[in-house]
Copies of this chain bind each other. A is one copy, B any other.
Amino acid sequence: MKEMKKIINSPQDVVPEMVDGLVRSYPEYLKQIPETEAVVRSDQASMKGKVGLVSGGGSGHEPTHAGFVGKGMLSAAVCGQVFTSPTPDQIYAAIKAVNQGKGVFLVIKNYSGDVMNFEMARDMAEMDGIAVKEIIVDDDIAVENSLYTQGKRGVAGTVLMHKLLGAAADQGASLDELETLAKKALPHISTIAVALSAATVPEVGKPGFELADDEIEYGVGIHSEPGYRREKIKPSKELVAELLSKIDEVQHLDATHQYALLINGMGATPLMEQYIFSHDVLNKLAEKNITPVFTKVGNYMTSIDMAGISLTIFELAEQKWLEYLNYPVATVAW
């Protein structure tokens, strides 16, 4: 087992130092709520009279979620310990900080800890008279039920949900309208990943699982949760064929529909590989006469230093959704 080799100070200081570094690097977008690891827009004026949009979860998925805080996207993000849900009081602090009297909408990834803590914070807010609604994102089609999860996991598609809801909120959508939009879009977002190596949580000091030097695992989660099959590494186009066939089973990809594509590096995967993977995805979709109308390639929902990649397909069932994806934002990472 390899020693941990990381640019950190001490494992227990990872989250506070990281959040501090991020916020102080980008004061034009972000500020920290005192005595929390929650981050809100520094451009408070852009939230005036609008529904607040709050997300968050365990750290280790940078730039998610704090990198998506800013005008046109999230109002706040709450950063838990690495791979650990933030506590209800921190989430509640974020809800209060962004509440403008129009209510607050929560984007929660489907992990037991996150769901429990966000809903506890929701209860606290409602007792204070703040209207709160939520969506629980479960876009990972790889496996049902997993470590920390009942049902499917919430992964990279969450970033598309942030984008959609952020644009709608910025355009003045009500709390109910955001809920309707989120529920309508969610089943059209499907993600699946392949891992070449596991993440090393700093406090643990060794990778979450071991793969042989020539081995990959399909369907791995963003916390090193097990996937559905291990095999020898294959050329990119065969990885694409496998992952896309799984999405096709769920989405029934069809040239009469419009699609957005998100290709996501897991933290240690060079853009070189991500662009090659994208080349193969676009070729494979072209065989079905599909050309995505929107594509993003890069590190959006990472798993610390995992080598691997995820593929998200979002069927744009409504024209408005494409406008939301293209809506201008002011964030660190979109």
- In the complex, the chain B residue whose C-beta lies closest to that of A286 is B24
Nearest 10 interchain pairs by C-beta? A21-B279, A62-B271, A21-B275, A21-B278, A7-B273, A268-B268, A25-B295, A18-B275, A3-B213, A9-B235
Chain A interfacial residues counted at CB < 8 A: 61
Q: Does A26 make an interface contact (CB < 8 A)?
A: yes
Q: Does A203 make an interface contact (CB < 8 A)?
A: no
**Which A residues contact B (CB, under 8 angstroms)?**
2-3, 5-10, 14, 17-22, 24-26, 59-60, 62-63, 67, 82, 196-197, 213-214, 233, 235-237, 239, 261, 263, 267-280, 282, 295-299, 302, 304-305, 307, 309, 333
Q: Which of the residues B24, B307, B333 comes within 8 Å of A5, measured between beta carbons? A: B307
**A5: chain B residues within 8 A (beta carbon):** 196-197, 213-214, 233, 307
How many monomers of this protein are in the complex?
2
**A6: chain B residues within 8 A (beta carbon):** 273
Question: Chain A at the B interface: mostly helix, strand, loop or mixed?
Answer: mixed
**A213: chain B residues within 8 A (beta carbon):** 2-3, 5
**A269: chain B residues within 8 A (beta carbon):** 7, 268, 305
Chain B: minimal CB distance from A263 (Å): 8
Q: Which of the residues B14, B22, B297 comes within 8 Å of A25, measured between beta carbons? A: B297
- The reply to whether A268 and B270 form a contact with Cβ atoms under 8 Å apart is yes
**A20: chain B residues within 8 A (beta carbon):** 279
Chain B: minimal CB distance from A285 (Å): 10
- The reply to whether A21 and B270 form a contact with Cβ atoms under 8 Å apart is no
**A278: chain B residues within 8 A (beta carbon):** 21-22, 24-25
Question: Given the complex of chains A and B, what is the CA–CA distance between A278 and B25 in angstroms?
Answer: 7
Chain B: minimal CB distance from A146 (Å): 22
**A60: chain B residues within 8 A (beta carbon):** 272
- The reply to whether A280 and B22 form a contact with Cβ atoms under 8 Å apart is no
Chain B: minimal CB distance from A306 (Å): 9
- The reply to whether A8 and B295 form a contact with Cβ atoms under 8 Å apart is no
**A18: chain B residues within 8 A (beta carbon):** 272, 275-276, 279
Chain B: minimal CB distance from A268 (Å): 4
**A3: chain B residues within 8 A (beta carbon):** 213-214
- The reply to whether B239 and A297 form a contact with Cβ atoms under 8 Å apart is no
Chain B: minimal CB distance from A261 (Å): 8
Chain B: minimal CB distance from A210 (Å): 13
Chain B: minimal CB distance from A291 (Å): 8
Question: Given the complex of chains A and B, what is the CA–CA distance between A5 and B235 in angstroms?
Answer: 10
**A196: chain B residues within 8 A (beta carbon):** 5, 7
Question: Given the complex of chains A and B, what is the CA–CA distance between A7 and B270 in angstroms?
Answer: 9
Question: Given the complex of chains A and B, what is the CA–CA distance between A62 and B59 in angstroms?
Answer: 25
